[in-house]
Amino acid sequence: MAEVRINVNGQGYSLKVSDGQEDRLRQLAAHFNSHVDRLAEEHGHIAEARLLLLAGLTVCEEYFEAQGTETALAHAALAQDLERAASRIEACAARLSGKADAADA
């Protein structure tokens, strides 16, 4: 197993990957990070979890379009799932922020 260092949204991550897959992982990370950067520019300051979720969904949308399987119904369901997931992430972030605030006090 090889270890590869990638960056997403300014954060460095070390990931293990099968030997010979290092360049592919770097390509995937660069593609994903390009979406993160674009979304950050479009939306300004938003929670990182939401930003990464939006980027992940954007990449999924690209995949579905490339496969020719995206339909209006699937897109609507994906949007609903995104809103539910975003709400859960924001609730978790609020709880974590409250714990951090309490610990600082």
**pLDDT class for 63, splitting at 50, 70, 90?**
confident
Q: What local confidence, expressed as pLDDT, does residue 82 receive?
A: 84
pLDDT of 102 > 70? The answer is no
> Do residues 53 and 82 make contact, with C-beta atoms less than 8 angstroms apart?
yes
Domain that holds residue 42: 2-104
Number of domains in the chain: 1
pTM of the model: 0.62
Q: What is the pLDDT of residues 66-93, one digit of tens each?
A: 776 556 667 778 888 888 988 888 888 8
pLDDT tens for 6-24 read 999 999 999 999 999 999 9
Give the number of other Cβ atoms within 10 Å of residue 11's Cβ: 11
Per-chain mean pLDDT for the chain: 87
